Structure 1
Amino acid sequence: MSTSPLEKLVVSLYFAGRTGPATFHRVGQATSYRATGNHLADAPAVAYTRTSQSSYYLDGVDVSGSVPAGRNTVVAWGDSATDGVGATPDADGRYTDDLVERLVTGRRQVGVVNAGIAGNMLLTSSSCFGEKGTARFRRDVLDRPGVRTVIVELGGNDIGANWSEGPCLPSSHRPVSARQITHAYGELVRAAHERGIKVIGATVIPLKGYPGYSAKVERLRQQVNHWIRTSRVYDAVVDFDRAMADPAHPDRPRPGYVYEDGLHPDDAGYHALANAFDLTEL
C-alpha cells in the first residue's frame, strides 16, 4: 500500500484461538485496542473496549521509499531515552519522532527505526529488560535491511545500576568499569563499520533522578561521556547530556525538560534531543 511521510498506520490482528503469553513492547507510548471476536472488517471501533499502552506481536513494518533502493534507514538503538519513557502517549513525542519531522521538513528521504528498550543494559542481560545490547546489536541493527547509520544510546542503565541489586539483575551481576563500557562501544563500532554502517555516539543523559544515583554513579557517567566526546571512535557524536543538563547543575536534567519521575525527558526534553543532531551526519 502507498503511504506518505508521517502518515499513521493501524495494524489489526485476529487470533482464532488462545495464544498463550504474548511477546510485547512494554513502553509502546501508543494505545493498542483489544476486542473479543473477529472485528477486522468493522468500520466503527465500538467493539474495542480494552486498551493498553503496549503493543503485541508486531515486530516492525518494512517501508520502501521513493528513492532508489539503498541505505536509507537510521536505527536509533538504546534504552528508555530512545524508547520514549516520559513522552506523552499517543502524541509522537519521542526524540525519534521529532527527528523524523526534522528530516521530512528538510526533504531528506531517510527513515528512522526506533530500537529502544526501556531498562535495557549494554553489558548485562535482564529478565525484565531483555538481552544485553552487545547481544542484540546484530539482530536490531546489523541484520536490518538498508541501514546507513546507527545512533548508539545505551549504557545509562549500566552506569545507574552499577552498584545495585534486585530481581531484574542476574545473580552474576558485578559492577562494571568505564573501560568495560567503552570497550563494548568500540566493538559495536567495529562491527557496524564492517557492514558499512556509520555510527553516531550519544552521551549519557543526566542521571540525578536515577534510583541508584550516587557520587560514584556520576563519576562513572562523566568518565564514559568524556570518552564518547573525545575518543574519536565514533563517526560523529550527539551530545544528549549537554542538551538535557541544567546549566546550573550539570548532573541533573534542565527544569522543564524532565518528566515527573525526575529522570526521563518529557516532550520538551525529547524535542531538545532531536534538535541536537546535525542532519548532515545521519
Structure 2
Amino acid sequence: MRRKTLLTLVTVFGLVASPAVSAVASPGQPGGWEGTWTTSAQKPNDGFAPNWSLTGFANQTVRQVVRVSQGGAAIRIQFSNKYGTSPLAIAGATVGRARPGAAVDSLRPLTFNHREHAVIPPGGQLASDLAFLPVRPLEELSVTLYFARPTGPVTYHFASVSTTYRASGDHRADRDGKAFTENSASWYVLSGVQVLDPDPRRDVVVAFGDSITDGVGAEQDADNRYPDELAERVRGRFGVLNQGIGGNQVLFDTDLAGDAATKRLKADVLDQPRVRTVIILEGINDIGISDASFPGIPPRPHVTAEQLIAGHKELVRQARAKGVRVIGATLLPYKGAAYYTERGEKVRDAVNTWIRSSGLYDAVVDYDKVMADPKDADSLNPAYDSGDKLHPNGAGYRAMAAAIDLGSL
C-alpha cells in the first residue's frame, strides 16, 4: 500500500524526471517529510577539545557518517550555517550507504534547486533536493561535502561519538575512501536527514537533553547512545531524533554548550516535522556548573530546585502549545562526579521528586531509580558507569532505552 501511495506521490510531484529534485508537499496533498536523524547546532569553538570548527575548510572534502532511525523511499539532507558570520558555499555534495571507514556505495549526487552547488546565508539553513536513495531503518549513510573556497568558522556539533573524515581536494565521488586520511569526532554543517513518507503520521519522537542524551561515554562508532538504543527497540515504527548537546543547561546559554533548553526547544524539537513526543532529560548541568568552576563558563549563583522546576514548566508549556506529548525524565545519580556536591544532591532530589509527583508530564521515565547503584542510591550503578560517575556506558544507555514504556510515546 505504501509503495502504491509513493508512486502516486511521485506522479503528483513529477519526480521521475531527475534522480534528485525538489519536492515539498503542500497542505492537503499526500505525503511529506519526516525526520530520521538530527543533531543540534553549536557555535564553532575548541573549548571542549580540538576540532575543525574554528578553522573551517578550504579545498577540502568532509565525509560524515550517520545512522537513520526510520526508513523511506527517498531522502533529503539538511545543512546549517546557524552560527556562521558569512555566507557558506557548498561546492558539491553526495550521499550514499556507509561502508567500513570512509568507504561508501550506492552513491548519489545531492543537488540544491537542481544545482550541484549552493550558498547558505549567515544564520540560515538549507535542505537538499530529494534524492532517490531508499533507506532502511538503522542503516548508516555517508554524507560528503566539498568546500572549494575557505569557509571560515563553521557551525558544528561537538560530540558526534562518530568518526568524520577529511581529504584534501574534491573527493565527493570517491567510493573507496582512501583519500580521507584525517578524522575528527564531531559533525560539521550537517544537521539532519529526512525521509519522504507517503502516508505521513504524527509519529516522530525527539530525545532532548544534555551530554547524556548526546551519548557521551558511549563507544565510538557503535551507535549505542540511548536514543540509538530506543530506535533499535522500535525498528523503524517511528523516527527517533537526538537533540542532545553536551554541557547544555535548562536555564543558561553558553558559547560552548548552546542556548538554554528553554530557548532552543522550538528550533530543535517543535519545528521538526510531525513530532508527536519529546523526552526531556535536562538539569544536572545547571546544578553542577553552579556548584563548580569551569573554564569558559562564568561563575553564577547556586541554582535552586524552584528555578529548575520553573524551567521545566516552561519547556512543558511550549511543547503543549504545539500539541506535543511530553515525557519527563528524572536526573541520573551523579555522586562522585567532578561537580558533585551535597547541596547539589539535595536540589537533584527535589527536582526528581517534583518530576515524579507533579502530574504535569504525560508520562515519566525514572532514570534516577533505573540507573542507581543498588548499594548507594545517590551513585550511578558501576555496571552502567563510563568511568566519570556521570555518563553511562553502552550498557547504561541500553538500560535507559529499555526503561521507556513504548506505550507512553
TM over 0.5: yes
Shift of residue 217, structure 1, vs aligned partner: 0.9
Deviates more, 1:185-194 or 1:82-91: 185-194
Q: 1:34 & 1:17 partners in 2: Cα distance?
A: 15
Give yes or no for the alignment of 1:14 onto 2:146: yes
Larger radius of gyration: 2
Deviates more, 1:92-101 or 1:157-166: 157-166
* Structure 2, unpaired ranges of 5+: 1-132
Shift of residue 13, structure 1, vs aligned partner: 0.5
1:28 to 150, 160, 163: 160
2:356 to 220, 229, 240: 229
Q: Superposition RMSD on alpha carbons, in Å? A: 1.2
Shift of residue 180, structure 1, vs aligned partner: 1.0
Q: 1:79 & 1:13 partners in 2: Cα distance?
A: 27
Are the equivalent residues in 2 in contact too, given 1:257–1:267 (CA < 8 A)?
A: yes
> Deviation per CA, 1:20-49, whole angstroms, max 9, x where unpaired?
112211100110000000011112111000
Q: TM-score, normalised by structure 1?
A: 0.95
Q: 2:293 & 2:252 partners in 1: Cα distance?
A: 13
Give yes or no for the alignment of 1:116 onto 2:244: yes
Q: 2:301 & 2:378 partners in 1: Cα distance?
A: 24
| Aligned equivalent of 2:388 | 261
Q: 2:408 & 2:391 partners in 1: Cα distance?
A: 25
Q: 1:63 & 1:195 partners in 2: Cα distance?
A: 22
SS in 1 for 2:151: coil
Q: 1:194 & 1:230 partners in 2: Cα distance?
A: 22
SS in 1 for 2:195: coil
| Aligned equivalent of 1:179 | 306
Alignment of 1:82-121 (within 5 A): 82-104=213-235, 109-121=237-249
Are the equivalent residues in 2 in contact too, given 1:245–1:254 (CA < 8 A)?
A: yes
| Aligned equivalent of 2:212 | 81
Shift of residue 70, structure 1, vs aligned partner: 2.4
User: Counterpart of 1:58 in structure 2: which amino acid?
Assistant: L
Give yes or no for the alignment of 1:152 onto 2:280: yes
Query: Which structure shows the bigger proportion of residues in helix conformation?
Result: 1
Give yes or no for the alignment of 1:49 onto 2:191: no
2:329 to 202, 213, 229: 202
Are the equivalent residues in 2 in contact too, given 1:25–1:55 (CA < 8 A)?
A: yes
SS in 2 for 1:190: helix
SS in 2 for 1:14: strand
Deviates more, 1:252-261 or 1:83-92: 252-261
Identity of aligned residues (%): 48
User: Counterpart of 1:88 in structure 2: which amino acid?
Assistant: E
Deviates more, 1:191-200 or 1:156-165: 156-165
Shift of residue 82, structure 1, vs aligned partner: 0.2
User: Counterpart of 1:174 in structure 2: which amino acid?
Assistant: P
Q: 1:154 & 1:135 partners in 2: Cα distance?
A: 13
Shift of residue 166, structure 1, vs aligned partner: 3.2
Shift of residue 209, structure 1, vs aligned partner: 3.2
Are the equivalent residues in 2 in contact too, given 1:244–1:253 (CA < 8 A)?
A: yes
SS in 1 for 2:385: coil
Are the equivalent residues in 2 in contact too, given 1:65–1:109 (CA < 8 A)?
A: no
Q: 1:272 & 1:254 partners in 2: Cα distance?
A: 11
| Aligned equivalent of 1:140 | 268
Shift of residue 220, structure 1, vs aligned partner: 0.6
Shift of residue 130, structure 1, vs aligned partner: 1.1
* Structure 1, unpaired ranges of 5+: none
Shift of residue 109, structure 1, vs aligned partner: 1.7
Are the equivalent residues in 2 in contact too, given 1:27–1:118 (CA < 8 A)?
A: yes
Query: Which structure shows the bigger proportion of residues in strand conformation?
Result: 2
Q: TM-score, normalised by structure 2?
A: 0.66
Are the equivalent residues in 2 in contact too, given 1:160–1:207 (CA < 8 A)?
A: no
After superposing on structure 2, the runs of 4+ consecutive aligned residues of structure 1 that deviate more than 6 Å are none
Q: 1:18 & 1:210 partners in 2: Cα distance?
A: 41
| Aligned equivalent of 2:81 | none
2:169 to 30, 37, 42: 37
SS in 2 for 1:60: strand
| Aligned equivalent of 1:250 | 377
| Aligned equivalent of 2:129 | none
Are the equivalent residues in 2 in contact too, given 1:80–1:118 (CA < 8 A)?
A: yes
> Deviation per CA, 1:139-162, whole angstroms, max 9, x where unpaired?
111111110000001111011222
Aligned residues between the structures:
277
User: Counterpart of 1:219 in structure 2: which amino acid?
Assistant: K
Q: 2:292 & 2:174 partners in 1: Cα distance?
A: 49
User: Counterpart of 2:220 in structure 1: which amino acid?
Assistant: P
